[in-house]
Structure 1
Amino acid sequence: MTIATPTIVVFDLGGVLFDWNPDYLFRKLIADETERKWFLANICNGEWNIQQDGGRSLADATASLSARHPEYAPLITAFYARWTEMLGGTLAPGMAIFDALEAGGVPLFALTNWSAETFPYARSNAPFKPVLQRFKDILVSGEEQLIKPDPRIYQRMLERIRAHYPQAQPAHLIFIDDVERNALAARALGWRAIHHTDPAATAAQLRDWGLPV
């Protein structure tokens, strides 16, 4: 097929279309806000969690962190035992962009840093399942054992896109991610990329590139 530039959009999920926040769970477990913020910044923090997005098992992650911080073992165990309580549903502004692109016939894909052990819940349960079923393909970091911003995961996403659109090139792709380093990594590989911090700004940029939003 002949592809104008750009014509394919790749979405990150968390922070763009889906609302995920550990605070939703831990405010039930740690009443003091200062203590809760410290725990999520220093114990069950993003650096620890993203290793599971890269393929480390939840059991190993929980056991190793609990061994280092036995005084917090019950809270560490709760992180994945009660992981679904961190999900807040879909994000309406991001979904409005998604809906408009889909209605305009734009091919939509997803590239997400997400544990292979927790992602099946989203695939199987509302309100996430109906959204996920609308993508042409979804690349999950935990299943690939690669995490953004590793350039290899973007190349793998492009390969998956080419299974649907063999002539697709990096310049045909737009990537939307709420983490700046992930957007910059895509841009370095020739993709167009949006650091998604303001849905109105994201929509405006897409319109500037000729997308139907």
Structure 2
Amino acid sequence: MKVIDTVIFDLGGVLIDWNPKYLYREVFNGDEEKMDWFLNTICTYEWNMEHDAGRPIKEGTELLINDYPEYESWIRLYYDQWPKMLGGPISDTVKILKRLKQMETYNLFALTNWSNETFPIAKERYGFLNDFEGIVVSGDEKTRKPYPEIYGIILDRYKISPDKAVFIDDNHDNIVTADKLGIKGIHFKNADQLQEELLALNVKL
């Protein structure tokens, strides 16, 4: 078994609870059906991912309003009130990060799909993000997971050997790319499962 010396974390869904529903549940007064329709049809996951890949938020917002002018006020809320989508740290996973940090055995990095316009809000809010030696933000790089280019960026920038690294992400597609590039991927479901899989890789906690 290869000795792991680097642990790379995804952020949203692994260390930070982010969900547009926290905002739009309030906007639609708890009407789940209406909220789901809006997020699946108008302000979609795919639309948001374009901003994660570097598209300016103002540009993406105006494009959507041009297509759906009748929903302009709701569309603008997506980024005008974006901080309301942050549910807080996923505390049990943050504890794992903290234990790894205290051991001083592993290089710790983050690789996140995140708009470079909204990431500073999270950086200011969550002190544990300072525990990483480096964070690669997709919006800064103008590419995103699961495209191989962004994995190459973090490997090259921080001189990471893929066969000595483990990558943790809640999106299975992102894990598939990591595995193809020789990085051991862990498809995150919860902190207990993550701890078990890390221990199985002989990552000490």
Partner of 1:113: 113
> Residues 143-187 of structure 1, C-alpha deviation per residue, up to 9 Å, x if partnerless?
00010001010010101221xxxxx41101100001000011111
Partner of 1:173: 165
Partner of 2:131: 134
> For residue 37 of structure 1, what is the amino acid of its counterpart?
D
**Secondary structure in 2 matching 1:133:** helix
CA contact (8 A) 1:109 1:137 kept: yes
Partner of 2:20: 22
> For residue 58 of structure 2, what is the amino acid of its counterpart?
A
**Secondary structure in 1 matching 2:110:** strand
Partner of 1:146: 143
Q: Percent identity?
A: 40
- Give TM-score, length-normalised by structure 2: 0.96
Partner of 2:186: 194
CA contact (8 A) 1:10 1:174 kept: yes
**Secondary structure in 2 matching 1:139:** strand
What's the CA shift for 1:95?
0.7
CA contact (8 A) 1:25 1:82 kept: yes
Q: Is residue 2:94 matched to residue 1:95?
A: yes
- Give TM-score, length-normalised by structure 1: 0.92
CA contact (8 A) 1:137 1:160 kept: no
CA contact (8 A) 1:173 1:192 kept: yes
Q: Is residue 2:196 matched to residue 1:209?
A: no
Q: Distance in 1 between matches of 2:77 and 2:155?
A: 36
Q: Distance in 1 between matches of 2:199 and 2:44?
A: 36
Q: Distance in 1 between matches of 2:186 and 2:9?
A: 10
Q: Distance in 2 between matches of 1:198 and 1:83?
A: 25
> Residues 118-141 of structure 1, C-alpha deviation per residue, up to 9 Å, x if partnerless?
1111222x2x1x111110000000
Q: Is residue 2:68 matched to residue 1:76?
A: no
**Secondary structure in 1 matching 2:131:** coil
Q: Is residue 2:118 matched to residue 1:122?
A: no
How many residue pairs align between the two structures? Answer: 202
What's the CA shift for 1:107?
1.4
What's the CA shift for 1:198?
2.4
Q: Is there any run of 5+ residues in structure 1 with no aligned partner, and where? A: 163-167
Q: Distance in 2 between matches of 1:11 and 1:61?
A: 27
Q: Distance in 2 between matches of 1:122 and 1:51?
A: 19
CA contact (8 A) 1:100 1:212 kept: no
Partner of 1:13: 11
**Secondary structure in 2 matching 1:193:** strand
> Residues 65-105 of structure 1, C-alpha deviation per residue, up to 9 Å, x if partnerless?
01111111100000000000101110012112111211222
Q: Distance in 1 between matches of 2:49 and 2:88?
A: 21
